[in-house]
Structure 1
Amino acid sequence: MRKLGISVYPNHSNLADIKEYIKLASSYGFKRIFSCLLSVEGDKQTVVDEFTEMISFAKKYGMEVIVDVSPSVFNDLGISYDDLTFFKEIGADGIRLDLGFTGNEESIMTFNPQGLKIELNISNGTRYLENILSYQANAENLLGCHNFYPHRYTGLGYEHFIETSKQYKNKGIRTAAFVSSQKATIGPWPVSEGLCTLEMHREWPIAVQAKHLWATDVIDDVIIGNAFASEEELKALSTIDPYQLTLNVELVEDIPETEQKIVLEEFHFNRGDVSDYVIRSTQSRVNYSGVDFPVFNTPSIIERGDIIIESSLYERYAGELQLARLPMQNSGKSNVVGRVVESEMVLLDLIKPWQKFKFQTIPKN
């Protein structure tokens, strides 16, 4: 089951505010919390007290909590890789290794008697996972999670992101990546220019970031990297179907009832014999066979993102829904019935052969 998550930073935020945020996120179906021990200052007992209280509260709301660590944190807190009792004491469900050991240590950690998950840093792109598995690690206790990047222009490129994520997905290991709130300002480091994994996401609306990650089909869990996201953003993420790409659209005024039903109620999937120009959802022409589709809106140029339903002038194609990927000439027979909102145009390129998708209209203010 794909999950949504938030991030909280007890040493950078008021604990009462964190608790309210956890409670709010839980009400919108969020199930994961990321927190960071890398930037923690203070003695071991202070760390234990702060994190124990936060995690204990999170558990009351059904949240899984994973904390970010590195070998230096182990040294600072006097923890050994073969005794993870400390993390169990503070209530964590797992630890994320921002920087790792040599491979054998991680493999030993996967057999920890405390039952903690060991989450690996996906973003580096080395054979790190392969090395750990070569030491006969318990893969059932392994997770993968990308980095986030607070400095503008330092986030991952798309090709590297896909390549590194596939290393984990191909081994059946659960993956996670970060999206950035446009309202939040708190992270683990002084620099705060967003906390996303993919650089291309930095200025995108948060819901589009999440849709994009899930549409790649290489990410299971989507976590908001910075705190505190707005309630509006939490709500927007909670309405997304993690398994079926949903595109927000604006329909033309006075769209006929049948055409509107085809857009919003038909089960859409892209044909396997794909076109560069259009995504074709053809079942509607079968379901509405014999129905008259008069010409009513045929602009001379069909633009990228336009939703088309073929008129009866096309006979065999009448009632077929198409989604334009490239601009093209209109024969005068194709009705444009709506358009994907501008912020989601990038998602068109992720619709693969046979992929299922749907449309929803955005509420008008």
Structure 2
Amino acid sequence: MHRLGISVYPQRSTPERDEQYMKLAASYGFTRIFTCLLSADTAALDTFGSFTLTAHELGFVVAVDTNETVFDRLGATPCDLSPFKRLGIDIIRLDAHFGDCGDIAITRNRERISIEFNGSAALALDNLIERGADPHAMRTCHNFYPEPYTGLSEEAFTRLSMRYRNMGLGTAAFISSRQPDTFGPWPVFAGLPTCEDDRHRPAELQARHLFATELADDVIFGNAFASEEELASVAAVDQCRSQLGLVLESGVSPVEREVIWGASHATRGDASAYMLRSSMPRLAFRDRSIAARPSGVQSFKRGDVLVVNDNMEHYRGELEIALREIPDDGTRNLVGAVPPEELFLLDYIAPEHLFGFKRC
């Protein structure tokens, strides 16, 4: 299952506000905290142990962004991570590297701290593993992007994430709160997503996007503070299948609603270029009438959700989602449509993959 996370930046907040936020996120099942030590001053480091203690008491693991300067400030080396262990840190994200020998050594640390490499860079981590790095201690974590129009493209996110997925490494990525006056490690306020196209989407749609790619194990709010509504909406996303919004047509029958909400949907392995087909409902509804209902259109368009009616009895009850224009021949009832802003999710529903709907 995926792990949900938040980001907390103690150097830009107060202990009281941070603790309140952590308690709220924990109540919705969030279990990971990301923070940044790159800009932390000595005072922030002196109180960091109490911050991680509170986080651990609430059930979080704590990941920190680091570089060589942070290591020097703490007196740590790739062969000695004990200063990080004393601070209660569970995951070290390397914003910079220590050369191949140092990067191999850091994965073999006695403190059993997980090491996250930059998932937004094309790193030869397979070469490190061949030369002795411990893959069990290795993960990747994408960057987040404060500046508008600089986040990863869909192609880059997929290519880089697949690179590390094929090495057997888990990956974390960031979504962004859309609340006003949010912040990160620096005074920037345009959100902190990994993927640029996610920057202006609602938080739960950003999460559904990353879950649908099947390339992000951990999904983390990059900026603070997300609202309770955003935390709740992301926590409510079905992590087991691609989840599409659905705007129902008027006049949808109770039987059709059963097909939509009551059946488990999976696409067929013999995929069509014209539609996604969920055929299993045919077994449950083959002996039940689904009266034909005029759609009022000549052709169905991409994203239209259809249920086969009595005019094609053998396939009655099959649920379909149009991928391209299909003429309405009277054998399918139009029961709803995927909202335009969510049509991109259809590209992620591969043959034999599970999918479902959420009410809009």
**TM range, normalised to the smaller chain?**
over 0.9
TM-score by length of 1: 0.94
**Residue in structure 1 matched with residue 168 of structure 2 by the alignment:** 172
Q: 3-state SS of the aligned residue for 1:11?
A: helix
Offset at residue 4 of structure 1 (A): 0.2
Alignment pair present for 1:153 and 2:149:
yes
Helix, strand or coil for the counterpart of 1:159? helix
Amino acid aligned to 1:154: T
The answer to whether structure 1 residue 289 and structure 2 residue 286 are counterparts is yes
For residues 148 and 131 of structure 1, the distance between their equivalents in structure 2, rounded to whole angstroms, comes to 26
Q: Which residue of structure 1 aligns with residue 260 of structure 2?
A: 263
Shift of 1:159: 1.4
- Equivalent position of 1:121 in the other structure: 118
Partner of 1:24: 24
Q: Please say if 1:310 is aligned against 2:308.
A: yes
Q: Which amino acid aligns with 1:145?
A: C
Per-residue CA deviation, residues 245-279 of structure 1 (Å, 9 max, x unaligned), is 12221222231111100000111111111122211
Structure 1 segment 121-270 matched on structure 2, within 5 A = 121-127=118-124, 129-183=125-179, 185-270=182-267
Query: For the residues of structure 2 that align with 1:91 and 1:218, how far apart are their CA atoms?
Result: 28
Q: Per the alignment, in what secondary structure is the counterpart of residue 47 of structure 2? A: helix
Structure 1 residues 37-56: aligned runs within 5 Å: 37-40=37-40, 42-43=41-42, 46-56=43-53
Deviations 1:37-94 (A, max 9, x none): 1122x32xx2333321211111111000010001222234432221111111111112
* In structure 2, distance between residues paired with 1:153 and 1:55: 34
How many residues matched? 358
Deviation, 1:239, is 0.6
1:74 to 71, 76, 81: 71
Q: CA RMSD in A?
A: 1.5
Give the alignment partner of residue 337 of structure 2, picking from 326, 333, 339: 339
Shift of 1:111: 1.8
Cα pair 1:311 1:319 within 8 Å, conserved: yes
Aligned to 1:323: 321
Residue 11 of structure 2: SS of its match in structure 1? coil
Q: Tell me which residue corresponds to 2:356.
A: 358
Q: Which runs of 4+ in 1 moved over 4 A?
A: none
Q: Secondary structure at the match of 1:161?
A: helix
Q: 1:47 and 1:81, CA in 2 relative to 1: closer, same or farther beyond 3 A?
A: farther
Offset at residue 168 of structure 1 (A): 1.7
Query: Is the 1:208–1:343 contact (alpha carbons within 8 Å) kept by the matching residues of 2?
Result: no
Q: CA deviation at 1:192?
A: 2.5
Q: Does the CA-based 8 Å contact 1:104-1:135 persist in structure 2?
A: no
Give the superposition deviation at 1:103: 1.9
Structure 1 residue 212: deviation in Å? 1.0
Alpha carbons of structure 1 residues 50 and 153: separation in structure 2 relative to 1, 3 Å: same
- Aligned equivalents of 1:137, 1:64: Cα separation in 2: 23
2:106 is matched by which residue type in structure 1? Answer: M
In structure 2, how many angstroms separate the alpha carbons of the residues matched to 1:104 and 1:130?
A: 14
Cross-structure match for 1:93: 90
Q: Name structure 2 gaps, 5 residues minimum.
A: none
Report how far residue 318 of structure 1 moved. Answer: 2.0
How big is each residue's C-alpha offset from its partner over 1:86-139, in whole Å with a ceiling of 9 and x where there is no partner? 111111112100111212212111221111111111101132x12321330111
Deviations along 1:146-184, one digit per CA (max 9) or x if unpaired, are: 000000111111111111112221122111100011115
